[in-house]
Amino acid sequence: MIKNRFIFALLIILFTSAKPGYAQKPNVIVIVSDDAGYVDFGCYGGKQIPTPNIDRIARQGILFKDAYVSASVCAPSRAGILTGRYQQRFGFEHNTSTLMAPGYQVTDVGMDPSEQTIGNEMQANGYKTIAIGKWHQGDEKKHFPLNRGFDEFYGFTGGHRDFFPYQGKRSVEHALYDNNQVVPESSITYLTDMFTDRAVSFIDQHTKSPFFMYLAYNAVHTPMNAKKDLMDRYASIPDTGRCAYAAMMTSLDDGVGKVMAALKQHHLEENTLVIFVNDNGGATVNSSDNGPLRGMKGSKWEGGIRVAMLMKWPGHLAANKSYSLPVSALDILPTSIAAAKGKQKGPKKLDGVNLLPYLTGLNKQAPHEALYWRRGVAAAIREGKWKLIRVKENVLLFDLDKDLSETDNLAPNYPERVKSLLEKLHKWEKGLDKPHWTSSYGDQNQIIKHRMETKGREMEKMYP
């Protein structure tokens, strides 16, 4: 009898301690980078700046060749990621500003509180949730991550901040929060490393129950604050801006490496879906490189909206594969819910789709019939290989299969195609709300940057 009890106890110990985490729902980690150039990742062809840890996500999973964000600037793009819905549906068309539309107040700038975030959804499905890094979804209490579906928050509410401590006065949206507490500037070392450390400690503390992590780095957004030792590593790069950019990319990649190492250490690799996405194309001001893509952050050219996106879930998704049909960062929310075998709790219709059946080959169709963009006067639609850009009366059409760099405007040659794409775009716009605030850059900037004659990086950089 005693012997049987002993064997029984031994079996229990073996059963519960072998492969921790395997019996539970998978964790989901969404890593966001900020304003990185399309070809500044090794896995997307980058040669100058090593990104071995981000590349390893691609090797262990899927690289998306035609991945898009729903906006070419930070805040609306992140609103799309966080809700799985075109952010214009709730008036979040522009980057945050104080240029309010009639009927709205400055306190309304941010994600509409009636929207459900990915944090809300994962919480409702039994997940512990944390948001780390740049929030950029409003500065009011009603917008604060702890009130928007996240159990924990470690980050700042604005769109950027210094990576090193501020010496003088700093504004409220630049404060680093540890949940409700402001972290003293004197405790700040280097922001990218601090976000990484918090992500690792959160994983260390949550090895026994499922978690969702939104790890939204502000690297490699301006200001170009880099660590001295890493600047030294890239001293051979003659352009000091590019040198700082390379050093900041390396801090980002090192951080991703540490987070992945924490998963491995706790044997959570096969029980964690990791999604990496860059929030918009390389910016005009951070020395990033968009390679063959025309345009930069802020534009409807591919350089503004086509981004690096990777997904790994060992044992569930194939390793070292690429996926070429167009996908959207809006797909992250429904894919996360599906990985959790959960159900959407929010009542509103999502624009994103669960990508898992497409990635496993169960569904061979295109995930989206078409993808859409609009920010003020500039709008675009992609359907199959066709991409149409509409900025007031200026309508451009490109065949992305043949012309990735959007050099040959085919609009005059295909009037029927143009007509049908314009109609689809117009139909989509009927489901949008009016912007709740507008952009300080104004229409003229958009009009000029989308002219065929505005070409070449130097010219592009004149119209951010």
Distance from C-alpha of 75 to C-alpha of 299, rounded to nearest angstrom: 14
Nearer to Ca ion, 127 or 463 (CB): 463
26/298 with CB nearer Ca ion: 298
Nearer to Ca ion, 217 or 386 (CB): 217
Q: How far is the CB of 289 from Ca ion (least distance, A)?
A: 15
Question: Minimum CB separation from Ca ion for residue 35, in Å?
Answer: 4
Q: Closest CB to Ca ion among 34 and 406? A: 34
Nearer residue to Ca ion within complex by CB, 310 or 411: 310
Please say whether the beta carbons of 274 and 309 come within 8 A. Answer: no
Beta carbon nearer to Ca ion, 224 or 411: 224
- Gap between the Cα atoms of 48 and 51, Å rounded: 9
> Distance of CA 447 to CAs 441, 453, 462, Å?
11, 12, 13
- Which long-range CB contacts under 8 A does 171-177 form with residues at least 24 apart? 172/139, 173/139, 177/153
Strand partners, 64: 323
Q: Give the angle 407-48-198 at the CA atoms, nearest 5°.
A: 110
Residue 270 Cα to chain centre, angstroms: 22
Q: In whole angstroms, give the CA distance from residue 86 to residue 23.
A: 35
**Residue nearer to Ca ion on the CB measure, 78 or 206:** 78
Among candidate residues 52, 46, 89, the one with its CA nearest the CA of residue 434: 89
Q: How far apart are CA 75 and CA 95, in angstroms?
A: 5
* Least spacing, CB of residue 218 vs Ca ion, in Å: 8
- Measured from the CB atom, is 109 or 317 closer to Ca ion? 109
**Closest residue to Ca ion, Cβ-based?**
74
Alpha helices in 130-181 (DSSP H): none
Minimum Å distance from CB 73 to Ca ion? 6
CA distances from 275 to 34, 91, 213, 312 (A): 14, 26, 10, 7
Q: Which is closer to Ca ion, CB of 263 or CB of 296?
A: 296
Q: How far is the CB of 205 from Ca ion (least distance, A)?
A: 29
What are the structure tokens assigned to 214, written together?
């939104």
Q: E strand or H helix at 278, and its extent?
A: strand 272-278
> Minimum distance from CB of 253 to Ca ion (Å)?
17
Q: Which is nearer to Ca ion, 27 or 280 (CB)?
A: 280
Residue 91 φ/ψ region, left for φ over 0, alpha for ψ in the -120 to 50 degree band, beta for the rest: left
Smallest gap from residue 158 Cβ to Ca ion (A): 12
- What backbone phi and psi angles, to 5 degrees, belong to 256? -60, -40
3-state secondary structure of 423: helix
Least separation in angstroms between residue 282's CB and Ca ion is 10
The neighbour count for residue 103, using CB atoms within 10 Å, is 8
Nearer to Ca ion, 152 or 253 (CB): 253
Six-digit token string for 450: 């989308």
Q: Which residues, 6+ apart, have CB-to-CB distance to 412 below 8 Å? A: none
CB of 99 to Ca ion, least distance (A): 20
Q: Which is nearer to Ca ion, 69 or 310 (CB)?
A: 69
Interface residues toward Ca ion, by CB under 5 A: 34-35, 74, 279-280
Smallest separation (angstroms) from Ca ion to the CB of 376:
17
> Nearest distance from residue 19's CB to Ca ion, in Å?
38
Q: DSSP letters along 176-228, please? A: PEETTEEPPGGG---HHHHHHHHHHHHHHH-SSS-EEEEEE--TTSSS----H
- Which residue in this structure is represented by tokens 């901040």? 161
